[in-house]
Amino acid sequence: MAEEKFTLEAVLKVYRKESQRKTLTGLDRDFWRGVQEYASDLEEDLRKESSHDPNSAKAALLRDELKKVLKRRDQIYQYRERKMALLASSAASGASVDTSELTPWEEESFKALLQVLEKGRRRAFGLELEERSIEEVGEGSGGDAEETTAEGKAKPEAEEGKVLVRILEDIPPFLGLDVTYQLQKEDVVGLPEELAQVLIGKGKAKRIRPKL
C-alpha cells in the first residue's frame, strides 16, 4: 500500500487548503507520486474484491473512496495549474516570482510554460530573436558596453529587477503585461530583463551600465 499519509482525509485536507488560498500551498515533494500510488492501490483492492462480489459493501466503499480521491486529485491540480499560469505570466513580464512551493514535477511544467509565454510575448511585440539565444544577442550587440552622460558621469541603475537602456529609434506603442510602452529615440528607461534583451538584440536599444 502507499504511505499512510496518502489517505482520503489527507487528500481532502490538501484540497481544502488549495481551494481557499490564492497562492500555492506547500506540498510534500512526492505528493503527486503518493496520490498515484494510493489510487493504484485502491484500484487493485477494488479489482480483487469485485472478482469475489462486485456488489459487496466493501466493494462499494472502495469504489466510493476511489471516486472521491480521483475527483479531488483533479481539482487540486486544476487549482495549482491556474496559480502556476499566473506565476508564469508574471515571470514572463520580468517580475520576480516565488516558485518555492512547486513540487519538482510542477517545476518542469512551470519552466515549459514560461518559455512558451516568453516566446509569445516576443512575437506579439514583433521582436522575435531569430535563432539566437539571449546570451548570444547580448554578446554580439555591444549591449554590455558602458554609457555615460555628457558630463562623464555614469547613468543611474534602473529600479531593482529592471534593466536601464537608451532607446535608439522610435518604436510603435505596444502593450506589456500591465502598461502600454511608448518608446522614442533617446529615451532612457528601465525595462523588464526579457524585453530589454530583445530590444538590444534588435538594435533598438543600448544597455546602460553605471561605472563602479
Query: Quick check: 38 and 73 in contact, CB under 8 A?
Result: no
In angstroms, rounded to a whole number, what is the distance separating the alpha carbons of residues 102 and 116?
A: 19
| Residue 117 and residue 182 share a domain | no
**Residue 167: inside a domain, yes or no?**
yes
Q: What is the pLDDT of residues 127-173, one digit of tens each?
A: 654 433 333 333 333 444 444 443 344 444 445 568 888 899 888 87
Q: How many percent of the chain have pLDDT more than 70?
A: 77
- More confident position, 96 or 31: 31
Q: Phi and psi (nearest 5°) for 159?
A: -60, 160
- Judge whether residue 20 has pLDDT over 90: yes
Using alpha carbons only, how large is the chain's radius of gyration in Å?
Answer: 26
Which of these three, 125, 144, 168, is where a domain ends?
Answer: 125
Q: What is the dihedral of CA 8, 14, 20, 23, to 10 degrees?
A: -160
Is residue 12 located within the same domain as residue 56?
A: yes
190 sits in which H/E element:
strand 188-192
Look at residue 121 in the predicted model and tell me its pLDDT.
79
Lowest mean pLDDT among 80-89, 151-160, 194-203: 151-160
Q: Is the pTM of this model over 0.75?
A: no
Identify the weakest region by mean pLDDT among 10-19, 77-86, 120-129: 120-129
User: Do 138 and 100 have their domain in common?
Assistant: no
Q: What is the CATH number of the domain that holds 114?
A: 1.20.58.1030
Same domain, 138 and 66: no
* CATH number of the structural domain spanning residue 181: 3.40.5.50
* Span 180-197, average pLDDT: 83
- pLDDT, average across residues 24-32: 92
pLDDT mean across residues, the chain: 80
Query: What residue numbers bound the domain in which 188 lies?
Result: 134-207
Query: Are 163 and 63 in a shared domain?
Result: no
**Separation CA 123–CA 208 (nearest Å):** 25
Listed residues 72, 106, 125: the one ending a domain = 125
Q: Do residues 94 and 192 touch, judged by C-beta distance below 8 A?
A: yes
pLDDT band at residue 43 under the 50/70/90 scheme: very high
What is the C-alpha separation between 12 and 18, in angstroms, rounded? 10
Say whether both 95 and 144 belong to one domain.
Answer: no
Tell whether 49 and 97 lie within a shared domain: yes
Q: Is residue 84 part of a domain?
A: yes
Q: What is the pLDDT at residue 183?
A: 85
Work out the burial of residue 152: count CB atoms within 10 Å of its CB; fewer than 13 is exposed, 13-18 middle, 19 or more buried: exposed
| Per-residue model confidence (pLDDT) at position 65 | 96
Q: Which residue reads 466503499 in cell numbers?
A: 61
Assess whether pLDDT exceeds 70 at residue 99.
yes
Nearest to 194 by CA among 135, 108, 110: 135
Task: Pick the last residue of a domain from 76, 103, 125.
Answer: 125
Examine the domain organization and report whether 53 and 93 are in the same domain. Answer: yes
Same domain, residue pair 68 and 110: yes
Looking at the structure, do residues 138 and 118 belong to the same domain, yes or no? no
The verdict on residue 3 lying in a domain is no
Banded model confidence at residue 62, pLDDT cuts 50, 70, 90: very high
- Looking at per-residue pLDDT, the higher value among 133 and 110 belongs to 110
Q: For the residues 63-86, what does the mean pLDDT come to?
A: 95
Is residue 212 domain-resident? no
Residues 19 and 86 in one domain: yes
Residues 200, 165 contacting (CB under 8 angstroms): yes
Which of 191, 142, 157, 153 minimizes the C-alpha distance to 171?
191
The answer on pLDDT for 41 being more than 50 is: yes
Grid cell in block for residue 138:
547580448
Question: Nearest to residue 76, comparing CAs of 22, 12, 23?
Answer: 12
Structurally, the chain folds into a number of domains equal to 2
pLDDT in the model for residue 127: 62
Same domain, 14 and 102: yes
Cα(160)–Cα(74) distance, rounded to whole angstroms? 38
DSSP H stretches of helix in the chain: 8-20, 31-52, 57-92, 104-125, 134-141, 193-201
